Chain A
């Protein structure tokens, strides 16, 4: 059978791939993709903990559903902001959006 450690290591790996994506990519949309990877890793973690520690309860599942809803809302607003920025500045490279930098 599969021990819990395998799921946790996999979720940690996916989370770190997401961190790499957020820190390294130039395009704002690619940064959002990295955030999605991180949220998915968190969800896998939550469901794995629910299954292995308390399968009769619903706490883990309810938390995971809320994370799904939050991720969807955040992607929608983030992409709307990126499209609005593209209309003004004609660029979505994260380094070019530096008007507030001093």
Chain B
């Protein structure tokens, strides 16, 4: 058991337990806090995968903006300060069965794939990766089209969110 494997198992355990607490917690704000822990665990995974840029992007976008949005929305849509009532549907066992079936299906497909247990190849040149990514996102024969479409999507989302959630002045 190398140090890396121990770290992986520990962070994976923390993230999965936090993920289960997100979907089973009674209080919505506690769910949001467990979500923050899950997202931080995934940021650690990105560091383990030699993608440090994505770890920082995860903290900025998910924890710095999306988690705060969730907490705001949870606070703005409650009538009383405490949560009451059951938080799960009456058919929760059916949801659990479906989730387990999904997991079993994915695992079966992956086990029968021959590249399943490969080890990580050595990274040769780690210094120029970020500039390579930046160049790929704006060069016409690489990925500029999805990049521009994502920016159009973000502008549309921004305008839509402001319009939908804004006060309509009569």
A61 contacts B51, C-beta separation under 8 Å: yes
Whole-angstrom distance between the Cβ of B20 and the nearest chain A Cβ: 6
A26–B87 touching, CB < 8 Å: yes
Query: What's the count of A-B pairs with C-beta under 8 Å?
Result: 236
Does A9 interact with chain B (Cβ within 8 Å)? yes
Query: Do the beta carbons of B87 and A37 come within 8 Å of each other?
Result: no
> 25 A-B contacts, Cβ less than 8 Å apart?
A4-B116, A5-B116, A8-B110, A9-B110, A10-B45, A12-B106, A15-B102, A17-B16, A17-B22, A17-B23, A19-B99, A20-B23, A20-B95, A21-B22, A23-B95, A29-B28, A33-B35, A36-B62, A47-B46, A51-B49, A55-B121, A55-B123, A69-B150, A70-B153, A77-B157
> A3 vs B98: C-alpha distance in the bound complex, in angstroms?
28
What sequence of 0s and 1s flags, for each residue 25-39 of chain A, a beta carbon within 8 Å of any chain B beta carbon? 111011011101100
- Distance to closest chain A CB from B4 (angstroms): 6
Q: Please pick, from A23, A75, A83, the residue contacting B66 in the complex, using a CB distance under 8 A.
A: A75
Q: Which B-chain residue is minimally distant from A39 (CB atoms)?
A: B62
Contact A30 B92 (CB under 8 A): no
Chain A's closest residue to B35 (CB) is A33
Kindly identify which residue among B23, B42, B120 contacts A30, using a CB–CB cutoff of 8 Å.
B23
Q: Report chain B residues within 8 Å CB of A79.
A: 69-70, 72-73, 161, 165
Q: Which residues of A contact B (CB under 8 A)?
A: 1-10, 12-21, 23-27, 29-30, 32-34, 36-37, 40, 43-44, 47-48, 50-53, 55-56, 58-59, 61-62, 64-66, 68-77, 79-84, 86, 90, 92, 95
Closest to A84 in B: B164
Interfacial chain A residues near B91, Cβ < 8 Å: 24
A66 to B91, CA, bound (A): 35
CB–CB A1/B98 < 8 A: no
- Chain B 104-137, CB-CB to A under 8 Å as 1, else 0, gives 0011001000011111110111000100110011
CA of A51 to CA of B19, assembled, Å: 24
**Which one of B23, B88, B119 lies within 8 Å of A3 (CB-CB)?**
B119
Give CA–CA (A81, B164) in the complex, Å: 6
Q: How far is the CB of A29 from chain B (nearest CB, A)?
A: 6
Residues of B within 8 A of A77 (CB): 157, 160-161, 164
In the bound complex, do residue A61 and residue B95 qualify as a contact, i.e. CB atoms below 8 Å apart? Answer: no
Task: Tell whether, in the assembled complex, residue A17 and residue B99 are in contact, meaning their CB atoms are under 8 Å apart.
Answer: yes
